[in-house]
Structure 1
């Protein structure tokens, strides 16, 4: 049984799917509507208002709602759809924590190395602002709350929606594309989009594709969870800027008042680095039959495999 087929283990009555989807993704829908119908001046005022809050308070305000949303998603899956959380996470008998650590380490090392190279070449617009006490508080908040944020985004996009769309359209490529686009649109209200323009959506959608491919090829969310967590922690702890989505007491700060990324700088990670990540992970986990795993059909299994009891794997989640 592949990852998308796991959805067949639960009750997929149409109104339950719509209820769960709207309940958990409503915040993203409102953000997108806000972005579409708000003028550039009003957006700038909203971002300026957020910047007036203490950085750590602002971070908590931004991240804490995801803990509530993740809890709502889990409750809906468990009691409304009558499925185990394990079936939403992986096809394996338990969550593979080692996989999470591998992808987490991969993106953290990559981010640190590329930043240090960039810093050594040109540090004219990068300021070292490390303050031990402030950074420690930031670190604690990040470690406690980012898992909820990335957990919710992965479980709702690469998990719940990918599975539900997959069993509806009966293939794998369409949920991969749809959830990646939705993942991009969910970030449309980020300050980077307002600063750089809608072209930034290419990066978010491309990242969604990367995480979706990881999930389908590996038949589980573990690699996507680790990668996403490592990326967001680095974004919060390593370097910040006045125009980034997260205003934090990071180690470094970009002093440029405006974002200066070009289209090529946005495309390079998607066209060069992301395929390298997939090749590395493919070698580690011996992925094969890419065509079937990414473009194959989704059919209801004749026999549904039983999950181990929920209490046996709660510590792994």
Structure 2
């Protein structure tokens, strides 16, 4: 069982507090600094350094945060990185790549359909040299950014809150809501409105459900990486958190309509159905709502 992988840490629950507090503090500080006008700050930084360098500078801190989190888990909690990642004997990279391809392919298809339906809403922006630089940055560093978020929310906090609450639905609920709310500082939320948090919180629930049902983070790691890499490479806008030398620039005026609700109510359930059939998920009620029963520490090894 995935949450139970951290059972040894129940004797050191206080150690779960510092890292999330520091991260949340950084997010709050960032929100307060940028609250005046996030888009203006981003535009000024892009004019000063260029899109690729600005993008690079925003991704590098996540690589350090990921390494710091894994170091904290290994040396403060004395927990293996494998047990933080999955309940399987080893990380199932086929699951990571399958999830990446499924969501990356679906996202690409949606972007293609949108472009074909409303080409006047987009500017074709492909330029080989800047795009190659963007592709190198995206494929190298975005996995650090998305993996940090997954390890923090679907791994570290999911297990830590589970140890305290002894109920699986509590860490699922809390990590999903906090994950969504932390995206409230994104410029697209300021542009579209807080209704967009429905999508972010819904995404948090999707990733949490995948983790609990599949007893590991492999699917969520693949999904999250595909989501951000596809967005960075294929289509961005001057009001989104990613503003890159992507193939397309979306010039349309955003609205909080079907595009916010449709993925949460339709696309995400279909995705869960696909994964459930491929990986033969069962026991939904127990895995998502059941009690967490910890084995005796002395009888188990991680």
Compute the TM-score of the two structures, normalised by the length of structure 2.
0.95
Which of 171, 195, 198 is the matching residue for 1:202? 198
SS in 2 for 1:69: helix
Alignment-derived partner of residue 240 in structure 1: 236
Count of residues in Structure 1 that have an aligned counterpart in Structure 2: 300
* Superposed counterparts of 1:113-152, under 5 Å: 113-152=109-148
Partner of 1:298: 292
Aligned-residue offset at 1:32:
4.5
In the TM superposition, 1:110-189 aligns within 5 A as: 110-189=106-185
SS of 1:10's equivalent in the other structure is helix
Query: Match for residue 28 of structure 2?
Result: 29
The one of 250, 253, 274 equivalent to 1:280 is: 274
CA gap 1:246/1:203 in 2 versus in 1, 3 angstroms = same
What is the deviation of 1:238? 0.5
Tell me: CA distance 1:12–1:140, structure 2 relative to 1, closer, same or farther (3 Å): farther
Contact preservation (8 Å) 2:39, 2:239: no
CA distance in 1, matches of 2:2, 2:31: 29
Residues 32, 186 of structure 1: 8 Å contact kept: no
**Larger mean Cα displacement after TM superposition, 293-302 or 280-289:** 293-302
Give the alignment partner of residue 219 of structure 1, picking from 206, 215, 218: 215
Instruction: Please list every run of at least 4 consecutive aligned residues from structure 1 whose deviation after the TM superposition is greater than 4 angstroms.
Output: 32-35
Q: Provide, for residues 208-248 of structure 1, a one-character-per-residue CA deviation record: whole Å limited to 9, x for no partner.
A: 10000000000000000000000000010011111111111
Contact residue 4 and residue 294 of structure 2 kept, 8 A = yes
Indicate which of 236, 243, 264 corresponds to 2:258. Answer: 264
Using the TM superposition, give the Cα deviation of residue 33 of structure 1 relative to its aligned residue in structure 2, in angstroms: 4.8
SS at match of 1:83: coil
Alignment root-mean-square deviation, CA: 1.6
For the residue of structure 2 that corresponds to 1:217, the secondary structure is helix
**How far is the alpha carbon of 1:51 from its aligned partner?**
3.5
Distance 1:43 1:139, change over 3 A: closer
Q: C-alpha offsets along residues 269-314 of structure 1, whole Å, 9 cap, x if unaligned? A: 000000000000000000001110100011211365423xxxxxxx
Structure 1: which 5+ runs fail to align?
308-317
Q: Answer yes or no: is the 8 Å Cα contact 2:150–2:220 preserved in 1.
A: yes
TM-score, length-normalised on structure 1?
A: 0.90
Find the partner of 2:40 among 27, 33, 45.
Answer: 45
Contact 1:167 1:299 in 2 (8 A): no
